[in-house]
Amino acid sequence: MTLTLRHYALLGLLTFLLALPGRMTLPPLDRDEPRYMEASEQMLTSGNLIDVRFQDKPRYLQPAGIYWLEAGSARIAEVAFGPEILRKTWPYRIPSLLAASLIIPLTAWVGASLFGAVTGLMAAALLMVSTLFVAESHMATIDTVLLLDILCVEATLLRAFLDRQKNRPTLLRTAVFFWLSLGVGLMLKGPVVLIPGFGTPLALWLIERDKRWWSRLRPSWGWLLMLAVVVPWCVAIDVISGGDFFSRAVGNNFLGKVAHGQQAHGLPPGFHLLVFALAFWPGSIFAALAIPAIWARRSLPEVRFLLCWILPHWLVFELIATKLPHYVLPTYPAIAVLTAAALINWPEVRPKRLGRILLGAYGAVWAGIGIAFCVAGTVLLYKMEHMISVREAIAMFGSLPLMAGAAVLLFQHQRRQAAFCAMGAAIIAQAGLFLAVIPNLQTIRLAPRAAALFEESKPCADSVLISTSYSEPSLVFLAGQHTQLIGPVEAARYLKKNPRCDLALVDRKDEPKFRAELQKNGMDVLEYGRVSGINYSNGHHLDLGLFAPR
């Protein structure tokens, strides 16, 4: 069997359809996603495509590439549906959706090029249902788009590597695509893309002691293409920011993450290995079971290339101080290919007694995660909303038997059949979570409910929301760029300046300070309504009232 363009197109379409459920109804997720969306919207409405900002503050974390993509997709949606669409989440998630729909076919191509068509399809399936990939592909953050770019970089490296193996010339367009992909990666995330871009060929050179194949990528002039992509914007932002961008993005953000943990994400080496069981579930157990077979075939050129893709990137991010699960996401396509090769191509290699004990313990953890996935939606809805969803119940009762079947088949050493069962369980459980659970978790949807109350109550078209107790970026995105996130005393003073139009959102515990400051100026307030729930970012319970001067 050979994979044709039609197969890859169908695989991309399947990924697109599986990534659609719940996308339009999901509220802003995480703290980063609304920051990306708000900054992209401000770029669109201001017309300033160079200087990225969140409200009136510069957002100098990475170059402008991802904001251009999200602003572009939002602009297309605005033309089609009107300006009110800019306050919806789904237009900003389109780049992630399209990137995911390209990543899976490209992973299949990598697998098929190295180990055959069936292995390529299995690798694509393992990545497509993995927890971290599914989560990131639903969000308007940079990680899915960056994964596509790094996958393009690795795919061109693989093409040059295979050309050397088959003693055929490497086409000029392959080299051009490699350097342009690195340039695009620099526009997306800065120097991070150079870790896999140069780490893989460097690791291969250290192992093989042969760097001649690197010349196939025309490095003598290719770096000029890379710089041509990123230098114009770099010059423009340096002039506009007076050098502040590079001081913050490189000095504070990039190098700061290397030296110490930022935003309470400092963790010791081994973190990524520990969370892999969850992040790559359900494929994580099959990846662990594949280790003996991979080690036995480590001298094969195909395996060597994939290991040189994985290890440099993984080790770098295990060693830096700041750690988040998505930092090693670019290694997942290579892990999926090696795992699929062990499932499809290679006979099982039984480890020694200690290895069997460790794999047994890992399997127990994996099974626990799977069962938790299957029942988590139903439990969350009942505990937080005191409701039972028929759709989520169907998902739970559909996924649990498949999960149990996967565990039994694993115990019987029928790994391939177990993988199919586990992937089926993952698809059903994930559909239940995105379609029936997350949209109904009103307790944690504080920002959408507060913003809706503000829209219903605001007396003027240009009313500003002043939030004293709830300072999540999602509220800024949903309520407007000029939303003020300040303390209760400052909120009372701000409200005094424009009592006719502005409204204040105040938690019950902060109301005494808020009212006391207003009374100093002879003012009182009228309550328009309340929203209560849990701020999922910190777990605090809030009871927010919306107030205007009488």
Going by C-alpha positions, the residue among 151, 107, 78 that lies closest to residue 8 is: 107
Question: Residue 256: what pLDDT?
Answer: 53
Sheet holding 484-485, edge to edge: 484-485, 465-467, 503-507, 540-549, 525-535
Measured between alpha carbons, how far is 189 from 526 in angstroms, rounded to an integer? 47
**Environment class of 534 (CB within 10 Å of its CB; exposed 0-12, middle 13-18, buried 19+):** middle
CB contact at 8 A, 197 and 185:
yes
* N residues, the chain: 550
**Environment class of 401 (CB within 10 Å of its CB; exposed 0-12, middle 13-18, buried 19+):** middle
Question: Residue 266: what pLDDT?
Answer: 55
Q: pLDDT digit of tens for each residue in the chain (550 aa)?
A: 789 999 999 999 999 999 887 777 788 876 889 999 999 999 999 999 999 999 989 988 889 999 999 999 999 999 999 999 999 999 999 999 999 999 999 999 999 999 999 999 999 999 999 999 999 999 999 999 999 999 999 999 999 999 999 999 999 999 999 999 999 999 999 999 999 999 999 999 999 888 888 999 999 999 999 999 999 999 999 999 888 888 877 766 655 555 444 454 457 888 999 999 999 999 999 999 999 999 999 999 999 999 999 999 999 999 988 888 999 999 999 999 999 999 999 998 888 888 889 999 999 999 999 999 999 999 989 988 888 888 899 999 999 999 999 999 999 999 999 999 999 999 999 999 988 898 888 888 899 999 999 999 999 988 999 999 888 999 999 999 999 999 999 999 888 888 888 999 999 999 999 999 888 878 888 899 999 998 887 888 999 999 988 7
Which domains occur in the chain, in start order? 5-248+265-344 (no CATH), 353-440 (no CATH), 444-549 (3.40.190)
| C-alpha distance from residue 161 to each of 148, 234, 265, 267, 524 (Å) | 20, 32, 37, 36, 73
Q: Which two tokens stand for residue 253?
A: 């953000």
CB contact at 8 A, 19 and 100:
yes
Other C-beta atoms closer than 10 Å to the C-beta of 218 total 17
Measured between alpha carbons, how far is 66 from 97 in angstroms, rounded to an integer? 13
What are the percentages of helix, strand and coil residues in the chain, rounded to 5? Answer: 70, 5, 25
CB contact at 8 A, 425 and 402:
yes
Q: Which amino acid is at 315?
A: L
Per-position b or e across 509-529, b if 16+ CB within 10 A of its CB: ebbebbbebbeeeeeebeebe
**DSSP conformation letters of 480-500:** -TT-EE--HHHHHHHHHHSTT
Question: Residue 252: what pLDDT?
Answer: 60
Measured between alpha carbons, how far is 37 from 477 in angstroms, rounded to an integer? 7
Q: Which two tokens stand for residue 138?
A: 């639903």
Mean pLDDT across the chain, nearest whole number? 91
Torsion angle of C-alpha atoms 277, 271, 111, 139, degrees rounded to 10: 80
Can you tell me which residue has the tokens 């777990």?
539
CB contact at 8 A, 387 and 263:
no
**Environment class of 138 (CB within 10 Å of its CB; exposed 0-12, middle 13-18, buried 19+):** buried
Classify strands 57-58 and 540-549 as parallel, antiparallel or unpaired: unpaired
Q: At what angle do helices 65-81 and 143-165 cross, to 10 degrees?
A: 120
Question: Residue 264: what pLDDT?
Answer: 46
Question: Residue 520: what pLDDT?
Answer: 85
Measured between alpha carbons, how far is 245 from 252 in angstroms, rounded to an integer? 10
Q: Which neighbouring-strand residues pair with 531? A: 544
526: helix, coil or strand? strand
CB contact at 8 A, 447 and 420:
no
CB contact at 8 A, 185 and 146:
yes
Measured between alpha carbons, how far is 26 from 40 in angstroms, rounded to an integer? 18
59: helix, coil or strand? coil
Measured between alpha carbons, how far is 318 from 297 in angstroms, rounded to an integer? 25
Measured between alpha carbons, how far is 340 from 125 in angstroms, rounded to an integer? 9
Question: Residue 370: what pLDDT?
Answer: 95
Start-to-end C-alpha separation, the chain:
75
Measured between alpha carbons, how far is 349 from 290 in angstroms, rounded to an integer? 8
